Amino acid sequence: MDFSSVPPPSGAFTIGKTFDFEAGHRLPSLPPGHKCSQQHGHSYQVEVILTAPALQAPGFVTDFGALSLFKKFLDDELDHHNLDEILPFEPTSEHLARFLAGWFIQNVEPEIPGRLVAIGVRETQRSWARFDVEQR
């Protein structure tokens, strides 16, 4: 079979990478009987989703290694911290996803060819939130 005869369709490329960190928090605005109003912790997973209309050599949206600045931020600033003590908002997964998207856009995106589509934050295997960035 001649594979060169397969025409490439139009579209965009999307990649994702997942990062981990451990942190504690509580949600003090919840009623005292709610389990999340008590101090507790999570093994957070943060997924970064990027897109590009064309690939950079050798065929990347963004080299995964170029995302190391984001991993360093998570490790240095959030890992093994009490999120209530360091973040300027109540640390729900939704708020955390939006905050991390803003940090990524400000600090990582200018240095890479891909554009951020979304940040997902997973507290458990069954509980997650995602912030989708408006098209820019």
Report the distance separating Cα 56 and Cα 1, nearest Å. 28
Query: Which residues, at least 6 apart from 12, have a Cβ–Cβ distance to it below 8 Å?
Result: 51, 52, 53
pLDDT at res. 5: 87
Mean pLDDT of 97-119: 97
Over residues 38-57, mean pLDDT: 96
User: How do the domains of the chain map onto residue ranges?
Assistant: 13-132
Upper half-sphere CA count for residue 85 (Cβ side, 13 Å): 9
pLDDT, residue 2, reads 84
pLDDT the model gives residue 69: 98
Active site residue ranges: 36, 80, 123
- The 10s digit of each residue's pLDDT in 49-74 is 999 999 999 999 999 999 999 999 99
CATH architecture for segment(s) 13-132: 2-Layer Sandwich (3.30)
- In angstroms, rounded to a whole number, what is the distance separating the alpha carbons of residues 40 and 24? 5
In whole angstroms, give the CA distance from residue 79 to residue 103.
16
- pLDDT surpasses 90 at 117: yes
pLDDT at 3 (0 to 100): 86
Arithmetic mean of pLDDT, 30-51: 94
What is the SS3 assignment for 29? coil
- State yes or no: pLDDT of 120 exceeds 90: yes
- Is residue 15 a contact partner of residue 67, using CB atoms and an 8 Å limit? no
Radius of gyration over every alpha carbon of the chain, rounded to an integer in angstroms: 18
Check whether 1 has a pLDDT greater than 80.
no
pLDDT at 47 over 80: yes
* Overall pTM surpassing 0.85 (yes/no): yes
